[in-house]
Every structure is written in C-alpha cells, then in structure tokens.
Structure 1
Amino acid sequence: MAEKRRSAANSPMSSGTAMKSEDILPPLDGRIGPAEVVFDQKSMVAPLGLRLEPDNLGVTSHTNFSTVRANCCVYRGKWMYEVMLWSKGVMQLGWCTINCKFTFEEGVGDTKDSYSYDGSRLRKWNIRTQKYGEAWLAGDVITCALDCDNGTMTFYRNGKSMGEAFKNVKTGSGYAYFPAVSLSRNEHLRANFGATPLRYPIEGYEPLQAMPQEDVVKSQLLIGWLEKLTNTLIKEDKHLMDVCGIDQNVPPLPLGETRSKKSTALLICAHIFEKLAPLLKGPYVVECCLLPLMLKFCATTTDTSTTNPHIVKLLDLMWSLMQDHEIKPCMDTLMTSMLYSFYKTSPVTSDFSSQKTYLDLTLRVLQHSQTRRYLLLNILYPLCMTND
C-alpha cells in the first residue's frame, strides 16, 4: 500500500511531533498544531524531573531547571496564552522555536531564538538579560503575548501590561514559536492556551486554542431555558408543600388528568439535558455557561447555614438526567475551576470579596449530598494528597 505523505514545504516548521492530519488546523490561520493545545510530553527536558497533570496543562518541577513546550506553534498573527502561578520562585515563561535546545542549566530565554520573562528575578531573557517587569506572586496570572506581524513580545501581570519586552523578534520563513516554560525545583504553574475562557483577554490577540463558538452559543441558549425551568420547579415544590401543610390528605391527580406544571417542567428538562449534557463535558462550556448560572443562583440566598434551593435543584437535575460519563468530567472541571482557576487567582482586595464568592459557591455545592460524596472520593481528597 502506498504511504500517504503530507508535504510541509510551505510550513515554517520542518520537524516536530507526528500528528494525525484530521487533528491539525490549516496553517493558513498562522498556527500549526492540534486543535487541543497542551504541553508536549515529548519536548520535556528531564522527563523524570517534571510532573504534568492529567490534562497536560499543569506543570511541577522536581529538578534544578526543567523545560517543556506546547504542542502548537505560531508564525503569523497575534497570539497569547496565560500562565497561572501556584508558586513565586524562579521560572522563565515565554516562547521558543523548535530548534532551541535546553538543558538543566539553560531554559527558555537562555538560548538563541527563545524569549522569556522571570518575575522572581525581575528580568527578561534572550541570551543576554535585562531588568524588566514586576515581581510576581503565587496566584498571579501572567499573559505571554506575541505579535508575529510586528516582531514584538509583551508580558502582562493580572491583565496589566508591563511594557514591550522584546522588539525585532525574528519572524518569517523558518521561524515559528512555541509557548514554553522553564521551572526551577518545586515550582508549579498551570497554563491556559484557550481550553477555558481567558482571565484577561487582550484586544487583537487570539488564544492558541480556538473557542468552541458553536458549543457556547448552544449552551447559553439551553442554560437560559434551564434557569427558567429550575425557578418553575422550585415554585411548584413550594406550592406543593404549602398545600400539603394545609391538608395532608390531598390525593394525587388521577391518571389521565392534565399533567402538572412540575411534570411538564421535568419532561422539558429531560429534553434540554439530552442536548446540554454532552456539551457540559467540555471545560470551556462549564466555565463560560454553567459556572455563571451557579453563581447567580448562589447569590439568591446569603444564609450559608441552610441549603440553597436553586443549587440543590440544579444538581438534582444534573445527577438525574446526565450519564455518568457526562456528569463526572463536568463536576471535575467545576470544582477545580472554583478552587484553582478562580479562588486562587482572584485579585486580592481588603474584604476578599471575590474569594468569598467562590468559597460560598463551593460550600453550596458540597451541601448537596450526592455531589459531596462524589467530590470527596474523587476530586477533593485526591487533590489534597497530590498537593501534599
């Protein structure tokens, strides 16, 4: 059988990790690589010294200086990715070409055609080093922005530009840049290439992983209907309790009579989840569509000593109408997003209002017994053990 070949003559990247053609986006948009952007395990310097989280977005270093790059590169246009810092030590964050060779002593920015920023030492690196930027802290979100059209590179801390770091970045034939990070021992970070909504989008710049536009539009429409139905079900439950409180012997409607509002609402919910449940397996949809609804429901009551009826009803519907393979990844994403992506990286104010918001929602979710049981066995306890 003749071997099929895909010419790379017009691509600025001449070698790299082999990928299935159906997983690769067309190079006309200025990027090369899979649709899902993650750190590439094969690119790791000292593989035994770096630990990647299961989704290949979180990185922890256990050696002197470890480097890893993403599985996607860009050569035209304006691109960005975000790094959430779980520690504040020596790290070099930035971009590199496929020809950069790293060691235990040389990381991103220490070699030709690689550029980086280190907020621990307040330096920028491209073979030589100069003073640059602001001191970073654990919980900061660092944005690495590359303008391939104008050959410039800029870094942002929590959405605030720290100024143009590099001019005259080499571009054109033969140059394509990968997101890359280098970490000293015991440093820990998590990257967002676009798998979830960016915390601090920059006008004119695109994430390396495209937003699932069609899924988001569908989910927002379905979530809007679900919100109305949840409110209807709560009202019907309250009405039933009021009726039963007056007359405990109220008989149910005979078979064949007109369906109640509650029965009709539940049937509609079943149809909604038939379309919504597969979409909730995606992290982007969970953070963009489901999480805002839960925050809105959470704000309806302030007394944390009692359960929130809206949250409880929503979770009841999810566990009843979603399959295990749908609700479990949804719950995984929801909890890790609340505790890590938002709680740990929310801007610190004098009253810690943002942190309180996500802790409050976490408490409300854990007040639901079935959800609490699943999270304690599969998410929260394993996370605690991993962080220890």
Structure 2
Amino acid sequence: MSTSCGSNLSVEIKLNSNIEHIDVSTVVEEVTKIFGKDGKNKLKTLVKNEKVYSDNDKLKDDLEILADKSKFDELLNVEKMYFENVESFNSSHLNGHMMFSEFGTIYSRSNLATVKSIHSIRNDGGVYQYEVQLNSNGPMRIGWATQRCAFTDELGVGETENSYGFDGYRLEKWNMSNAFTYGRKWRVGNIISCTIDLAKKSMEFFNNGDSLGVIVEDLINKDNLTYFPALTLSDEENVVVNLGERPFKFPILNSKPLITSPIALINYFRRLEKNIYFLIESQISLNKKNVIFKILVTLFQTKNNLKHYDKIRINNIIKNILFHQFEHLLKNQFIVDSCFILFLRNLNKRSPEKLIVFLELMWENIPKYRMVSIMNYLIFCLLCDFKCTWRNRFDISHQSEVLKLLTAICRETNTRKEAIVNIFFDKIKY
C-alpha cells in the first residue's frame, strides 16, 4: 500500500525563514525526471547563468513554459467547441415524455415517445454512423428521419414519410407504416450501429458490428432533405445513444460520426500522460523518503534535508500545472472514454501502486466537485463497457477486465468513499 502523498507533501515543514531560494541544479534534477532531456535543455536556456531561484513566481513561470501552458491555453480556445455542453437531444425535438441524462441515456416515460437528434448528417456524400446501446430489449425503433417528419403519440420512426426504423424486438424494418421482416433479435447490452450513405442512397443496421443487411437502397435525397438520428421507445425502454461524443464500440468501415473526434485534444493528452507518468514515479520516490526526512528535519537542517524540501516544493508546482491541464482535458467525454480509461488500465498493469498514487494526486490537485464529476462519468463508461455483449456472448473476459479496473480504482480511499456516497448509490441510474 502506498503512503498518502497528500498528507506527506502538503504538510508544513518548519525551516529557517531566511531559506527561500532553490538551487537551479535541484530544479534541473527534478525537471529532467518529469520533462526529460528536452525539458532540461529548455530550462537551461531560461535560467542562463543563474545558480539559484530566489523568486517563486519566476520558478513557476519557467515550469509553466516547460509544461507548454501558453500552447495549452491556445488549444483550449481553438477547441472550445469540445468543452461546451451541447445537447444531442432535447425536448424541442420530442413527442411524448422522455428523460435525458447528461451522458446520453434516454428513458421513455410514455407508451410511445419519439425523439429526433439536434445533430444531422452533412450532405457531403459521406457515410455517417451513430450507435445505440440497449439498456432494455423491448419494442423500440431506431433509425433516421428528416426535418420534415412530424411525429405524434401514435406515429413514430418508420411510420411517416422519409423516416426509417429498425425494431429488433419484433424483427421488423419500418417505413411509411409498412413493416417487413428484418434483422435478428436484440438483447440488453447489444450495440446497434445505424449508417446512412447518401451517395448510394442506402441505410444499413449492424448488431455488435455484424451487418443485418441494407434496409433501403432508394433513399430520397432531394429538396434539401436532411437526415437526423431518430428513436421511438415504448414505455420504460431506455438506451444510451452515441453520435460520436465517445469512441464507437464497433466503428463501421469508411463511416464517420455526426460529431467529430477531438484529434488535437487526444494528441495533447497522449503527450501529457507521459509527463504525468514520470511525475508519479517522482512522487513515489519522494514518498519513500518523507518519513525519514520528517524525522531528520526536526533534528538537523542539513543541506540534503533542505534539498529534499526543495524537491517537494518543485514537485508541488509541477503537479499543480500538469493536473490543471489534465482536469480540463477530462471535461471532454471522448478523452475520458478513450484516452483516460486506457491510461488507467495500462497504469494498473504496470503497477497497482502507481495507480493508487496517481488517484491520490488527482484528489490532491483537482477540486472535489470536479473529481466526483470525472469519476461519475468514468464509472458510467465502465458500466456501459460491462453491459456490452460481444460477438461471443459466452466469453466474459471483457467483463472481467472491466471489473479488475473498477476494483483497482476503488482501492484508493477517496475514490472508494466518494464513489459509494455520490455515485454507486446516488447518480448512476439506468
């Protein structure tokens, strides 16, 4: 078990008040551990011939330069659309009564409720896809509809002109209130992929990546018709819809999402996670020395003791800078579902201790309300993963991996406590 880094490194250590400077050599040593040789060389150009940092603000400014703070701030401004709370579905495109969760879950509270997405495909000749994960397996119709479709309490997807739907409960495809046998029986956890190809004037559905066949090959594409994802659910049915806010579980060849992926943010995250990993290793090294240090520092103020304290100060500044960036990136659902979960899984495989220390660092450097929000969505993603039934429904290795990661995450004290209080028995509802 690791020693809590928050209580160790945030403690106030009483040293002579006149010792305020930090040797540049100590800063270079810590910077090299976390930012590598490039960071070391960049720092040397910043300090020039200076031997000590006598100004904490100057130290912070230089470390922010090493962490590319200005580039990150510019990135956030350019990619701000990926951090806006834009809904994919709302009541203005709804007939009947439905409930929408912040993570894309849709619940029906009417005998027949129909909703059309705010987002539409672009008439650029491309193939578009969205996914629906089934949290129930009753009567539903999943498909597409144009802006001209007018739904009622009795007419849903597939019962109007220019709307098409698939019902895996009844094994039917629908259009203009005409139903024909189609597809295979769906189950809870199945992921239904819906594709539309205006160039070929066709629509096709997939169950867990397996094609169910083309349902229409003479799609009307004139008079500026625009197609939107649309769903009709019976009472108590509920699904999770993904228009591209998150990675597709079963991406269909040559198709693209309605919501584009945040490529620039993904690339930045992959670079940042390397610094975070080295920061974790540095933190573990400091943790091991802290017990001895706190004893010695009360007896002797040797040069080595003061150097250790300087390392703590340097690391605290770096932690604050890096986790500030990390927190912002985790506001994007795609980053959490693709990059963050993979980072946690790899970290746990390398060393469960490093995963615990990393989570401790997160709770120490990210506000509690944000951490609860991050963990809420993280666990939601893991639950969706767990529910997903893959091609071989007798193979539970995937579910086993999800449970291993969830168990490992909950070994960290703050995560376990807040998950129990704020997530498991409060916010995660299907």
Q: Which residue of 1 aligns with 2:115?
A: 68
Deviation at 1:300, TM superposition (A): 3.7
In structure 2, the partner of 1:198 is: 248
Say whether residues 1:230 and 2:280 are aligned partners: yes
Indicate the structure with greater helix content.
Answer: 2
| Alignment partners' CA distance in 2, 1:272 and 1:216 | 16
Q: Tell me what 2:359 maps to.
A: 315
Query: 1:251/1:148 Cα in 2 relative to 1: closer, same or farther (>3 Å)?
Result: farther
CA distance in 2, matches of 1:253, 1:148: 74
Give the match for residue 375 of structure 1: 419
Q: Gaps (5+ residues) in structure 1?
A: 1-24, 26-33, 302-307
1:175 maps to 225
- 1:160 Cα deviation from its structure 2 partner: 1.5
**8 A Cα contact 1:282 1:330, kept in partner:** no
Equivalent AA in structure 2 for residue 133 of structure 1: G
1:337 to 353, 369, 381: 381
Paired amino acid for 2:364: S
1:43 partnered with 2:93:
yes
Residues 1:98 and 2:147 aligned together: yes
The Cα of 1:75 is off from its aligned counterpart by: 4.5
Judge conservation of contact 1:283–1:330 (CA < 8 Å) in 2. no
SS at match of 1:87: coil
Report the Cα offset of residue 260 of structure 1: 6.9
Indicate if the aligned counterparts of 1:120 and 1:136 stay in contact, CA closer than 8 A: yes
| TM-score after normalising by structure 1 | 0.80
The alpha-carbon distance between structure 1 residues 322 and 369, as it changes in their structure 2 partners (threshold 3 A), is: same
User: Any conservation in 1 of the 2:90–2:100 contact (CA below 8 Å)?
Assistant: no
Tell me: CA distance 1:283–1:168, structure 2 relative to 1, closer, same or farther (3 Å). same
Distance in 2 of aligned mates of 1:286 and 1:131: 39
Equivalent residues of 2:372, 2:422 under 8 A apart: no
The answer to whether structure 1 residue 53 and structure 2 residue 122 are counterparts is no
- State the 1:206 CA deviation: 1.3
Once residues 258 and 376 of structure 1 are traced to their aligned partners in structure 2, the CA distance between those partners, rounded to angstroms, is: 37
1:108 partner amino acid: V
CA contact under 8 A between 1:36 and 1:209: conserved in structure 2? Answer: no
Match of 1:110 among 152, 159, 177: 159
Unmatched 5+ stretches in structure 2: 1-80
Structure 1 Cα separation of the partners of residues 244 and 319 of structure 2: 30
CA offsets 1:123-161 (integer angstroms, 9 cap, x no match): 111122211112110001111101122211011111122
1:267-322 per-residue CA deviation (whole Å, 9 max, x = no partner) reads: 43332123222111111111122110111122246xxxxxx312211111111112
Q: In 1, Cα distance between the equivalents of 2:86 and 2:408?
A: 32
- Give the letter for the 2:375 counterpart: M
- Partner of 1:130 in structure 2? 180
Residue type of the alignment partner of 1:311: L
What SS is found at the alignment partner of 1:89?
coil
SS at structure 1 position matched to 2:144 = strand
Shift of 1:64: 1.6
Letter in 2 for 1:51: M
CA offsets 1:240-272 (integer angstroms, 9 cap, x no match) = 67x79xx99996754653667666555433321
Secondary structure at the counterpart of residue 279 of structure 2:
helix
Paired with 2:301 and 2:404, the residues of 1 have a C-alpha distance of: 38
Counterparts of 1:18-29 in structure 2 under 5 Å? none
Q: Which amino acid aligns with 2:99?
A: R
> Residue type of the partner of 2:404?
D
Q: How far off its partner does 1:346 sit?
A: 4.8
Give the greater-gyration-radius structure (CA): 2
Aligned mates of 2:394, 2:200 — CA distance in 1: 40
- For normalisation by structure 2, the TM-score amounts to 0.72
SS in 2 for 1:376: helix
CA distance in 2, matches of 1:257, 1:74: 59
Gap change, CA 1:277 and 1:227, over 3 Å in 2: same
CA distance in 2, matches of 1:151, 1:180: 18
- Report the identity percentage: 26
Letter in 2 for 1:199: K
CA contact (8 A) 1:278 1:326 kept: no
1:68 & 1:96 partners in 2: Cα distance?
10
- Report the alpha carbon displacement of residue 233 of structure 1 after superposing the two structures with TM: 2.7
Q: Distance in 2 between matches of 1:238 and 1:349?
A: 46
Give the whole-Å Cα distance in 1 for the aligned partners of 2:299 and 2:404: 38
Q: Distance in 2 between matches of 1:313 and 1:253?
A: 28
| Corresponding residue number in structure 1 for 2:209 | 159
Counterpart in the other structure of 1:3: none
- What corresponds to 2:9 in structure 1? none
Q: For 1:150-299, list aligned pairs within 5 A.
A: 150-238=200-288, 254=303, 256-257=306-307, 264-299=314-349
* Aligned 8 A contact 1:75 1:175 in 2: no
Deviations 1:71-120 (A, max 9, x none): 01224132111001001111100000122122233210111100011111
**Aligned residue type for 1:191:** V
